[in-house]
Amino acid sequence: MDRPRIIISADKTDLFESTAKLIAEASREAIARSGRFAFVLTGGSTPKGLYELLATEAWRDRIAWANVHLFWGDERFVPATDAQSNYGMAKKALIDRLELPAANIHRVVTENTTPESCANSYEQEIRKFFETSSARFPSFDFVLNGMGSNRHVLSLFPGRPTIRESSRLVVSDFIPEVKMDRITMTAPLVNAARQVVFLVAGEDKAEAVRDVLFGQRNVDEKPAQLIQPDYGELSWMLDAAAASHLPQG
């Protein structure tokens, strides 16, 4: 299988600029092709900086936001107003600063439900958007991922049964490591996307980056290795610190 494209930036500022350019380009291509851009967001401190950049005056007009539909790759099972909410973070960093139609924001609704029902509802939301039957994995235009130092991606954590899910689009899982219920897209759904990007920064992620990209394949211990698009493009966007343990040459 082809290795992913690895793009290394000098620092976070350059990392965000390079990633924003990828998103803008992908959005133009998708809107020209289908009239809309289906964009899956991720949570975490690093993406927050990217979202804040996309909402600046310099970047706001480079993307036709009225044609952008936002989804979330995973979500903590907390209210949208909770400080841990991935949607809440994106709302403050990006959505509140733009004029997006309410119908274009497809958040994971965690209120007044159970984790399992929440996952089922989000799967139905995705299928409704793409108008696909239960036999197909729909194809998002762009999926943004982060990665934990424990090699998890989305809310697919090491050793969890969700790693092996092969038919569902979205599942729930109580993750003992963080003592929390999570809602997450599955690996097959992400792998059906046209473009998938890992955004990783910081020296604390450097060992994990090297291990996932160049270490022995073991998806139970390194779920990030699950992300290998079927037909789309995979890119790892790294700052110099996150790339500091990669093999030279």
Residue with the two structure tokens 């958007």: 129
Residue 245 lies in a domain: no
Per DSSP, the three-state class of 153 is strand
* Residue 153 resides in a domain: yes
In a domain, 70, yes or no: yes
Across the chain, where does the E strand assignment appear?
A: 5-9, 37-41, 68-72, 74-76, 142-145, 170-175, 180-185, 195-200, 233-239
Question: 207-227: per-residue pLDDT in tens?
Answer: 999 999 999 999 999 999 999
The edge-to-edge listing of strands for the beta sheet with 233-239 is 5-9, 233-239, 195-200, 142-145, 37-41, 68-72
What is the structure's pLDDT at 248? 83
Each residue's pLDDT tens digit, 32-61: 999 999 999 999 889 999 999 999 998 999
Distance CA(235)–CA(36), nearest Å, equals 22
Tell me the CATH number at 90: 3.40.50.1360
pTM above 0.95, yes or no: yes
Report pLDDT digits (tens) over 16-32: 999 999 999 999 999 99
Residue 212, domain extent: 5-239
pLDDT at 2 over 80: no
The answer to whether position 248 is within a domain reads: no
Residue 246 within any structural domain of the chain:
no
Q: Give the closest residue to 47 by CA, choosing from 140, 143, 150.
A: 143
Number of domains the chain is built from: 1
Are 228 and 158 a contacting pair, CB within 8 Å? no
